[in-house]
Structure 1
Amino acid sequence: MATEPPPSINLTHHFLIAMPGLEDEGFSKSVIYMCEHSERGALGLIINKPSDINVQGLFDKVELPLRRGDLTQTPVFQGGPVQTERGFVLHESMMPGNESVYASTMSIPGGLEMTTSKDVLEALSTGAGPRKVFVSLGYSAWGEGQLESELLDNSWLTVAADLGVIFDTPVEERYDKALMLLGLESWMISPVAGHG
């Protein structure tokens, strides 16, 4: 008997929430905002693992002034294990429609963009730029079918993203807040998947 392929799912603009049993050091207790998910693979940013550098420190490294007092102490996050020396800026869309004001930007349904070009940092350095900003070094990626297979293994819970969790929730509360979107609390979830 041939097994049916799993139905196609698109988790763009969703959170992946690590199950307690997921012990991979980089992904344990993580919440990942999914920027893109297609049959070719998936890309996302971990939103609850701060690095040891803040936005002011990042701007010092790239030799730009930072004229946004609201961002100086904001942590730069470890977005994932891929390209950890490269910056990724998740921010609210600057323009209605699909026209981005930055050179290298991916539009994400749900009103966000992810920019990898330095011009977004230059805009922030002048005191302008997007109002809500999340900065990470590195990203998380899955090849074709890889994420679907991890979902079948009960490694992740999924829920539609809530931008308040990314931009308005203290880092240490983001995992629990994401679970609450599903009506869950961490004590309710067994660390062992139910494969009886």
Structure 2
Amino acid sequence: MTTARFLAGRLLLAMPGMFDPRFARAVIAMCIHDENGALGIGIGRVHQGLRFRAVLEQAGIDPGEAPDAQVLVGGPVEPQRGFVLHSTDWGGHGTVDVTPLCALSFSLDVLRAIAEGRGPARWLFALGYAGWGEGQLEEEMREHGWAAAGAHPEILFDTPVAERWSAAWRAEGIDPALLASETGHA
């Protein structure tokens, strides 16, 4: 694992003992990270009581062929705003390449495409995002809050939500049961 400056296209994992309880055992798909800050979409927690077809209906889109998929809690910032993390076989207005992990779309076009059966082959939907200002994420990583993992699309698309945190650590060759919740200070 590395604490590289720019983490877009990788997974961000909450360390045990995370100082912010909203992010306990969080797995964040990092979509944007540059000198101005960072934006990621949480992929490790399900929005209870809300399903994808209901979101489409609330947006005025006929659910059509869309599956009644889970809605994820993408993060605490703008929890009413929707984001689709998806395979790179679809692109449209408002699509950002998050190589090598996935693509990110945030326009109604992708929702309509999914409902019409012409959307990306693989996708997940989240409400809200996690955001950091300039240098904030790097500081939180130094304080034992986060660890950077590689890009693991299989965790994003093939691993059940409740297992993503542990699976991401194992994909990095680390047994999450052996992680300490505190670090020492010299």
TM over 0.5: yes
**Which residue in the other structure is 1:167 paired with?**
157
1:58 Cα shift? Answer: 1.1
Contact residue 101 and residue 152 of structure 2 kept, 8 A: no
Contact residue 21 and residue 193 of structure 1 kept, 8 A: no
Seen in structure 2, the aligned counterparts of structure 1 residues 111 and 193 have a Cα distance that, compared at 3 Å, is closer
**Which residue in the other structure is 1:157 paired with?**
147
The alignment status of 1:51 with 2:80, answered yes or no, reads: no
1:165 Cα shift? Answer: 0.3
Secondary structure of the 1:26 match is helix
The size of the alignment, in residue pairs, is 183
For 1:61 and 1:90, the matched residues in 2 are separated by: 20
Q: Among 58, 77, 102, which residue is 2:72 paired with? A: 77
The alignment status of 1:24 with 2:20, answered yes or no, reads: yes
Q: Which runs of 4+ in 1 moved over 4 A?
A: none
Secondary structure of the 1:191 match is coil
**Which residue in the other structure is 1:3 paired with?**
none
**Which residue in the other structure is 2:124 paired with?**
134
1:111 Cα shift? Answer: 5.8
For 1:143 and 1:44, the matched residues in 2 are separated by: 12
More helix, by proportion: 2
**Which residue in the other structure is 2:113 paired with?**
123
For 1:111 and 1:186, the matched residues in 2 are separated by: 22
1:118-173 Cα distance to aligned partner (Å, 9 max, x none): 01111111111101011111101111000010111111111112001011101111
Q: Among 10, 13, 17, which residue is 2:9 paired with? A: 13
For 2:144 and 2:19, the matched residues in 1 are separated by: 12
Of all paired residues, the percent bearing the same amino acid is: 34
TM-score (norm 1): 0.87
Instruction: Give the counterpart letter for 1:59 in structure 2.
Output: L
1:8 Cα shift? Answer: 6.1
Instruction: Give the counterpart letter for 1:132 in structure 2.
Output: R
TM-score (norm 2): 0.92
**Which residue in the other structure is 1:89 paired with?**
84
Q: Among 156, 168, 177, which residue is 1:178 paired with? A: 168
Instruction: Give the counterpart letter for 1:129 in structure 2.
Output: G
> Which structure: larger Rg?
1
Instruction: Give the counterpart letter for 1:152 in structure 2.
Output: R
**Which residue in the other structure is 1:192 paired with?**
182
Structure 2 portions without partners, runs of 5+? none
Q: Please give the root-mean-square deviation of Cα atoms over the aligned residues, in Å.
A: 1.7
Instruction: Give the counterpart letter for 1:118 in structure 2.
Output: L
1:23 Cα shift? Answer: 3.8
Structure 1 portions without partners, runs of 5+? 1-6
1:7-31 Cα distance to aligned partner (Å, 9 max, x none): 9621111111111110412211101
Secondary structure of the 1:164 match is helix
For 2:120 and 2:73, the matched residues in 1 are separated by: 21
**Which residue in the other structure is 1:68 paired with?**
65
